[in-house]
Each structure stands twice: as C-alpha cells, then as structure tokens.
Amino acid sequence: MKKVTNPILRGFNPDPSALRVGDDYYIATSTFQWWPGVQIHHSKDLVNWHTVAYPLDRVSQLDMNGINDSGGIWAPCLKYHDGLYYLIFTNVMNFSGLFKDVHNYMVTAPDIKGPWSEPIYLNSYGFDPSIFFDDDGRAYILNMLWDYRSKAKVRGKFAGILLQEFSLSEKKLVGEPVNIFRGTDLGVTEGPNMMKKDGYYYLFCAEGGTGASHAETVARSKNILGPYEVHPQNPIITSVGRPDLKLKRCGHADVFDTPDGDWYMVHLCGRPLTGKDGSPCSVLGRETSLQKIEWGEDGWPRLAGGGNSPFETVEVPDLPEHKWEKCPETDDFDGETLGIQYQTLRKPLPKELCNTTERRGYLRLRGTESLSSHFTQSLVARRQQAFRCVAETCVEFEPDSYLQSAGLVVIYDSTAYHYLRITHDEKLGKCVGLVSNKDGEYYLPLDLNETLGGAERVYLRAEIDYEKLNFSYSTDNKNWHGIGGTLDMTVLSDETNSCGGFTGTFIGLCAQDLSGLKKIADFDYLTYKELE
C-alpha cells in the first residue's frame, strides 16, 4: 500500500463529491462566485489529481451576475448512471438575513469533459442537492430544507432532509417531497448523500456548521422513506476537541469504493492560521482530504485506524503512479485561451475585455468596474494553494487618471484583498500604490503612492509567508523596492469575514477604469511559485 498526504486538493476546494467510473476517480468541488462553475478533479491513483473540467461554462447554465460574495455554486453532487454523468448543484442568489433564495438544477453529459447539457430546474426548498439511483431503477433528489420561521436552538432553520422522486424518462420531479431525516443534536443538517449497501439505505450528512464544530454523521434505514436510525458512534469524522490536529473543520463527506472493494471517504477540511487576536483564519479556504473507511460487522462505516479524527497520511491502493502535467510556474500567455487554472468572477469575460490574441504573448485586460463590484470585473485569478509562495507579473499600463488602475491582487472577495496597483496621480504622474481592504474597510491610505518616473514596464511581486504578505515593484527587473510594509494575510479568510464567507484566497491580475473608457493593461506573464 502507498500513502497519500492530506489534503489531496489544496487551497479553495470545498464540499467534495466523489465518484469512481471504472479506473477513473473524480471529485467535484464548490466554486461559489468564481466562474466557470464547479471544478472537477481527476485521478487514476488517488494520489495525483488535476483539474479536468468546469461543467458550467455558459451563462445559460449558470447566471451569477450581481450575486453576493460566496453566493453562486454551493455543494455540487457528481454521479454516473447508465452511461451518463449527472451534476446536481445549487445557484445561491441570496443567503443574507432570514431568507435563502436558492435554486437547484441538474445538468448531464456523456463525457466528463462535456459538453454538459442545459440545466433542468429541480426546486428551491433548500441547498446542497444530490441524486440517488436505487437498484429498482428509480431515482431521487435529496436536499436540505430551509425553514426561515424556526426558532429552535439546536437544529435552527436547518429543518431536515427532503427526498423526492425524479423521473428519468420525464426529466422532472414527481410526487411530493418527504422529510426523511431531521438530523442529530449536532444540528445544521446539510450536504445529504445517499447510498445503498446490504439492504440498507445509508444517509451521510454534514452537521455542526462548516466552522470549528463541523462533522459528518450517518443514519440508515431499510426503507428509503425511513425511519432512520443514527450511527451509534456519530460523528464518523470531526476535528472537535482536538486542537492538536493539523486538519480542522472536518465534515461534509462522500464515500466511494475501489475495484478491489476498498472504501474511501473524501471530506472537507481546513488548515487555519492564527490571527492577531488568536482566532483561526483559513487563508487557503476549505480544502479536500481523503480517509480510508471500513464497514464493521454491525454494518456501520468507520474510519480505518479507529476513532473519528482525521488522519494526515492515509494508505491508498498500490496502483500504478499516474502523474499529470502541471501548470507551468510561469505563464507567458502564449496560448489562444487561458489555462484551466484561471477563473473570473461571476461570469465569463468577453474577448473585448480579456484576451491573449490582440497582442501575442500578453494577457490584455480592459479596465472596467472596481474590485467592489458584483457585476463586471476585469480580473483573472488562480487559487493560492500553498502557505508560502511568490507571485510576479510585468504590466504595461499608461493611466491618465486616478480612476484607472491595474496590477497584482491577492483577493478573498470584494470586501477583503491586498492590491498592488499602477495608477495616476496629479502630482506624481504614473505611480505605484497599495489598496488594502479588510471586511469592507480600507485600512491603508489611498494616496500611499510612489512615482514610477515614466517607466513603460513595471514588475510587481507578492511574497506570501503564512500570515505575512510583502509587495515589491521594479522598473528594470533587477532592483526591487518594497512598498507598504508587511501586510496581514489572515484578513483574507472565512473567519474574518463578517458577511459569512466560504471561499479562499486567489492571486490575480486585474484592471479598473471608473471613467468608462476601458483603458488597456497588458500583462507579459504571471509567475506563481510554491515554496513548500
């Protein structure tokens, strides 16, 4: 047996849904407001993974224009049945306050790489939908139920798990939804996944909330409609009560088997840093780990190795090693299209605003709205996936006004980022400066600018070392000048976001033009180098 080190999907890769088709393993993860929607990862050996597809790549499938930060895609479910891949997902339009505006859909494809179908609308009762195919040929949709009226202290507004039959021939829900499970005393019952084994329907649920109290519980029944008995040793995985663990926030799981009959579970986790006030801060976002599970003589699943705490290293089958070509550390933007590692915010950017063809060897961005916008941002970014890393770019940009900016951004969402930008000042002319936003408040002076002396090309660098970020710039790629001092990376995390964030840190290139003139910024390359 070989071993793999967790997390297997580092950086912002939460809410895993796992699937095996033959000798291929797939994991779908949430993307929230980042476009395209749903990231699918592929492995042949359970050790080496790569991004293989973003199924929701058309606005007709996914319309997120204007949604709040951390809205959009929540907890997708990926299944395979009778030669067809099924992807079930929520598009969260609003989750603030008392109400949740959540719409659940299904898309299908004969090939994991697509093209994927236009969506079939399912319901809007609650989020985290999944699909289950019974051995009698019937199919069912499950999702949590949101009851905005509830004042219950334990389960709160998480009112249970709904199940409703889905007609595969008619491609629609039929019959009435039934609340089959109201959860355990951990509360916050969500993320339902169902499987059938040895005559039992097993219902896996995320509970406890996706923070420090997160957990995965299991219930089972001989009848799909229940009643469901709960696992005698719930939760089957959690990090609660174990401050020594590297993997925190463990829960939201899914299980799958191997051709040889071994069983594994993927689950959400986090590796929080410590903020200035001593609180945890998950800068990389919620990640995905792998655990081996065993089925006891009593028919219940448990972690192989005992207990319910996550293991940092896990044995995997001795399959032939299958490595994938990695994204190069430096992207010179020589291709016709952007690499699969990049995403934009809420929607695709038209070629007018973002392309690599107008000027060969450069990413050309035309400035649009500010980093606060929930509509059109000229921003292209990739995940930060290591605590220690360096990002660097070179930009050619000639601003005429303080309303025009372009540069290198380290961003969590529209309320949390550090931005090293080129702009224009009436006294300094073309200059370089910083904008830092913490929870919607700017905490560096907006006039902290240094003149560039008319330099045509400006090099920008971000050096990240766990909770510290240092920016620097150069006009000759030899002499580098630090700017702004050491910045706090821990402000870029779920835990420091008062609006309730669920994403992770991205490193991106962006351009703004608040005059509406769409000033051009040309980026020669982007280097992302991990140091650990």
Each residue's pLDDT tens digit, 249-295:
999 999 999 999 999 999 999 999 998 888 899 999 999 999 999 99
Question: What pLDDT, on a 0 to 100 scale, did the predictor assign at position 454?
Answer: 85
Checking if the pLDDT of 504 tops 80, the result is yes
Question: What pLDDT, on a 0 to 100 scale, did the predictor assign at position 275?
Answer: 87
Q: CA 73 to CA 527: how far, in whole Å?
A: 28
Q: CA 56 to CA 45: how far, in whole Å?
A: 26
What is the mean pLDDT of the segment spanning 518-532? 96
In the chain the domains, ranked by start, together with CATH numbers, are: 2-316 (2.115.10.20), 330-530 (2.60.120.200)
Q: Which two tokens stand for residue 150?
A: 């509830």
Our CA dihedral for 4, 10, 14, 16, rounded to 10 degrees, sits at -30
Range list of H helices, 179-241: none
Checking if the pLDDT of 486 tops 90, the result is yes
155-159, 209-213, 319-323, 333-337: range with lowest mean pLDDT: 155-159
Each residue's pLDDT tens digit, 33-83:
999 999 999 999 999 999 999 999 999 999 999 999 999 999 999 999 999
Q: Which two tokens stand for residue 520?
A: 């051009």
Q: CA 411 to CA 389: how far, in whole Å?
A: 15
What is the mean pLDDT of the segment spanning 360-364? 97
Each residue's pLDDT tens digit, 364-423:
999 999 999 999 999 999 999 999 999 999 999 999 999 999 999 999 999 999 999 999
Checking if the pLDDT of 216 tops 70, the result is yes
Q: CA 431 to CA 404: how far, in whole Å?
A: 11
Checking if the pLDDT of 84 tops 90, the result is yes
What is the mean pLDDT of the segment spanning 233-257? 97
Checking if the pLDDT of 173 tops 90, the result is yes
Torsional class of 484: left (φ above 0), alpha (ψ -120 to 50), beta (otherwise): left
Question: Which segments of 359-428 are extended strands (E)?
Answer: 363-366, 378-383, 388-397, 404-413, 416-425
> Among residues 175, 158, 85, 194, which one has the least CA distance to residue 123?
175
Q: Are strands 84-94 and 101-109 parallel, antiparallel or unpaired?
A: antiparallel
190 belongs to the catalytic site: yes
- The active-site residue out of 45, 128, 190, 413 is 190
pLDDT-derived band at 181 (thresholds 50, 70, 90) equals very high
Each residue's pLDDT tens digit, 415-448:
999 999 999 999 999 999 999 998 888 877 677 7
For residues 61-77, one letter each, b for 16 or more C-beta atoms within 10 angstroms of the residue's C-beta and e for the rest, the string is bbebeebbbbbbbbbbb
Checking if the pLDDT of 85 tops 80, the result is yes
Each residue's pLDDT tens digit, 104-113:
999 999 999 9
| Residues constituting the chain | 532
Question: What pLDDT, on a 0 to 100 scale, did the predictor assign at position 225?
Answer: 98
What is the mean pLDDT of the segment spanning 496-508? 86
Q: Residue type for 16, please?
A: P
Q: CA 304 to CA 274: how far, in whole Å?
A: 30
CB atoms within 10 A of CB 412: 28
Q: CA 30 to CA 54: how far, in whole Å?
A: 11
Single pTM value for the model:
0.97
Checking if the pLDDT of 155 tops 80, the result is no
DSSP state of 61: T
| 387 close to 284: Cβ distance less than 8 angstroms | yes
- CA gyration radius, the chain: 24
Question: What pLDDT, on a 0 to 100 scale, did the predictor assign at position 499?
Answer: 61
Checking if the pLDDT of 121 tops 90, the result is yes
Beta bridge partners of 106: 88, 120
What is the mean pLDDT of the segment spanning 477-484? 96
Helix H or strand E segment including 302: strand 301-303
Each residue's pLDDT tens digit, 343-357:
999 999 999 999 999
pLDDT-derived band at 497 (thresholds 50, 70, 90) equals confident
Question: What pLDDT, on a 0 to 100 scale, did the predictor assign at position 448?
Answer: 78
Question: What pLDDT, on a 0 to 100 scale, did the predictor assign at position 520?
Answer: 98
Percent of the chain with pLDDT over 90: 92
Question: What pLDDT, on a 0 to 100 scale, did the predictor assign at position 338?
Answer: 97
Question: What pLDDT, on a 0 to 100 scale, did the predictor assign at position 498?
Answer: 66
Q: Which two tokens stand for residue 246?
A: 């590297």
Q: CA 255 to CA 123: how far, in whole Å?
A: 25
CA angle 292, 385, 512 (to 5 degrees): 145
Percent of the chain with pLDDT over 70: 98
> Among residues 492, 344, 314, which one has the least CA distance to residue 33?
344
> Among residues 525, 74, 115, 207, which one has the least CA distance to residue 339?
525
Question: What pLDDT, on a 0 to 100 scale, did the predictor assign at position 505?
Answer: 98
Q: CA 378 to CA 360: how far, in whole Å?
A: 19
Question: What pLDDT, on a 0 to 100 scale, did the predictor assign at position 29?
Answer: 98
Question: What pLDDT, on a 0 to 100 scale, did the predictor assign at position 102?
Answer: 98
Q: CA 310 to CA 291: how far, in whole Å?
A: 7
CA angle 190, 490, 504 (to 5 degrees): 45
> Among residues 102, 124, 117, 121, which one has the least CA distance to residue 58?
117
